[in-house]
Amino acid sequence: MPFDPQWLEASFPDLRDLTLIGRGGQKEVLRGQSITAGDTVVLKLCHLGSDRQRILREISAAQQLASSHVPNIVGYGEANSPVGQIIWLIEEYVEGQSLRGVLGDGPLPPADVAVVAMGVLDALVSAEAAHVVHRDIKPENIILRTDGEIFLVDFGIARHLDLASMTPSSAAVGPCTPGYSPPEQFQNLKHDIDGRADLFALGVTLYESATGSNPYLAGTAEARAVLDRVQSTPLPPVPPTAGLPDRFVGLIWAMTRLRRNHRPRTANECREWLREALAETA
Amino acid sequence: MELYLQFGWQMTPTCLRLLGEWGAGTVILSPRDLDPPHLADAAERIRAAGGKVLVDPQLYTPHETNFRLSKHSFWPGCTGVCDVSALEWGKTTRELRRLNTSLGAHMQLLPGVICSRPEDLAGWRTQLLRVAEADDSKPADSLMTVAVGHQAMADTDTVHAILDALDETPYRNFYVVPEYPPGSFFVADPWWLSNLLDLAAGCALGKGTVVVGYCAQQMLVLAASGVTAVASGTFQNLRQFGLQRFRNPESDTKQRAKWYYSPPALSEYKVTYLDVAARRGVLQTLHPGPGFPTTTAERLFTAPAPMSAPFSYPDAYEHFLICLRHQAMNATLSTFSVTVAALEQELDTALQVADSAAYAGVRGEHKQFGPGAHAASMSALAALRADRMPILSRAWPELPVEKSM
């Protein structure tokens, strides 16, 4: 849905030099400068689904997250665009590379896996306090800023925008990212989706960061096959060749259990666990 | 892991003798087996003997009339079949609180209806939350009863839904009462056993007190779940929970039989088969072995023939409970992994000993530990390891259960 530059200029007069940096499915992402603040910001534009109130509620909650690992949401709202009713969101721009891009060069060293884990867990601890579930943690949504800080992006809107619906006509399969989302999410067990869904997805992401591959995605691009794998096969422990401390391996193993009751209860518990693992190594 | 005594019909003397020998212990009193005056008397005598008292309200099926339980003031006032959803839990919990206080119970067991089948889950959850809402005691002072029917226990989704529901309550102490698959002394259904271990572990990870009621020797594997205690008693119906006991005015005494419990075989044998064992030269393989407390069963091994040794029904019950307690107390070790490995070793040994004895003609009938129970137990331990090992390993030092070094 390409947006008309004139409409953009008229609708967001405080932004200049808007440049398209991403497009997919329901949304467009542009980078620009805030004239009043002088900062580089990101403008996200996306179609409204049927969950308008819920999207706004969740963005509002995400705006309250007290985490230095989540980009600040500067503002958000609704607009009537040439392509229909949309929602817009302006947030802090994070200069860096996505974890997906970094993993293109191979697995991360153990210390860097720990940095990613700690950064995202810090963000999830804040999310728990605000009763927000990200629902789409994956390497694409984790940014390694140029100074090494970790950011988890798209809080509050991920579930509404980026998640692929396997069979839109059927409620039996919920919006998910195959290979990262836990069974309760793609089985569309809405009442069972809580913070432990994010822990599963982060666990898979950390496994991939440590080993360089996601076993659920290896050798197939067929979504249904991936979901079948996730549903039937828990991830094995991270192999010793990855060099992670045993306790860290245990944490990733626990986070990736197929049933949420088998995972740690909270992100805070995971963060404590990770600290213990790192302290033991030190 | 501790062994609590599951009280049953005419069990006061046994409890008092065992508490005298142990110097301490906990007895779960059964209102079904004691009318109000006798309940008070038993509690007083147990406490005087140094024991702690818990009271199981046994409200598993409160909508059914029980000829003994209905004599107690906490029992709902309906007669015949009544509507569970209409029960006034506020009145019941108040009465139970009064009873627990008067009996000097050290914690209160809250009532819990049984979740018999997967389709009962929604109704069960409603009652659980109603009890929690009605209870005005401190959650830390109470154990919530989690009674699960054999069909529900065999269904993994149901067991996880039960764990989810328990998370909705403020309680972290639980009294788990699993209904056994019908007709089996040993459980050979790997799903039932695996789900029980998982349920118990899920409860134990809340780091409160978790007691599993009505256990026989196979349930020693619950040590891997990190539970605080298992409870067992004299008669078979105190080692295996079944609703029948709470429905019919059965005679408990007719179920009596004199069995010798062999700890290394995890099996029980009628004494006449010990004569066979002596004649075949395998009697010593059934001896408890070094380290176990000496019981009156020692006579069976020193007499010219076991059948000629004096060995009464109470002797048999007490020998069983003394040995089971010793095994329970040595079942929980310093780490989760070491505990599981030791249990697996114990199961392997038991199958070997029981098989060797059977080959020699020494049969334990339905109380002989066999390949089905061995396979289900090993399978359940493997599942627990696969699902919960990292979390249980990490939590192990903080679980409120005595570990044996």
Same domain (yes/no): A158, A269: yes
Residues 238-277 of A with CB under 8 A from B: 247, 250-251, 253-254, 257, 259, 261-264, 273, 276
CB contacts of A259 in chain B (<8 Å) are 160, 387
CB contact, 8 Å: B385 with chain A?
Answer: no
Confidence band of B81 (pLDDT split at 50, 70, 90): low
Same domain (yes/no): A196, A105: yes
Calpha distance B240→B184 (Å, rounded)? 9
Same domain (yes/no): A187, A245: yes
CB contact, 8 Å: B393 with chain A?
Answer: yes
Query: Domain containing A229: what range?
Result: 96-281
Structure-block tokens of residue A278: 């790192």
Contact flag A273-B394 (C-beta cutoff 8 Å): yes
Q: What share of chain A is helix, strand, coil (3-state, %, to 5)?
A: 40, 20, 40
Mean pLDDT, chain B, integer: 93
> pLDDT digit string (tens) for A114-162?
999 999 999 999 999 888 888 889 999 999 999 999 999 887 565 544 4
Same domain (yes/no): A37, A147: no
Domain boundary among A38, A66, A92: A92
CATH of the domain at A265: 1.10.510.10
Q: What is the ipTM, given to two decimal places?
A: 0.91
Q: When comparing pLDDT for A133 and B215, which is higher?
A: B215
Same domain (yes/no): A76, A164: no
* Count of domains for chain A: 2
Domain boundary among A48, A74, A92: A92
B337 with B389: CB under 8 angstroms? yes
Q: Note the pLDDT of residue B331.
A: 98
Q: Note the pLDDT of residue B371.
A: 98
Calpha distance A226→A217 (Å, rounded)? 6
Same domain (yes/no): A263, A129: yes
Q: How far is CA A58 from CA A28, A159, B178, B352, in A?
A: 19, 10, 42, 60
Residues B208-243 as b/e (b if ≥16 CB within 10 A, e otherwise) read: bbbbbbbbbbbbbbbbbbbbbbbbbbbbbbbbbbbb
Calpha distance A154→A64 (Å, rounded)? 14
Q: Note the pLDDT of residue A225.
A: 92
Contact flag B394-A234 (C-beta cutoff 8 Å): no
Which domains are seen in chain B, by residue range? 2-251 (3.20.20.70), 255-397 (no CATH)
B394 with B208: CB under 8 angstroms? no
Domain boundary among A39, A67, A92: A92
Work out whether strand A96-98 and strand A142-145 pair parallel, antiparallel, or are unpaired. Answer: antiparallel
Same domain (yes/no): A55, A136: no
Contact flag A250-B164 (C-beta cutoff 8 Å): no
Q: What mean pLDDT is predicted for residues A156-185? A: 64
Size of interface A-B (CB pairs under 8 A): 27
Same domain (yes/no): A87, A133: no
Contact flag A261-B160 (C-beta cutoff 8 Å): yes
Q: When comparing pLDDT for A250 and B78, which is higher?
A: A250
CATH of the domain at A49: 3.30.200.20
Tell me the angle at which helices A246-255 and A267-281 cross, rounded to the nearest 10 degrees. Answer: 160
Q: Note the pLDDT of residue B379.
A: 98
Same domain (yes/no): A155, A75: no
| Secondary structure in 3-state letters for B210-242 | EEECCCCHHHHHHHHHCCCEEEECCCHHHCCEC
Q: When comparing pLDDT for B84 and B20, which is higher?
A: B20
Same domain (yes/no): A110, A217: yes
CB contacts of A253 in chain B (<8 Å) are 389-390
Same domain (yes/no): A57, A166: no
> pLDDT digit string (tens) for A82-125?
888 888 989 999 999 999 999 999 999 999 999 999 999 999 99
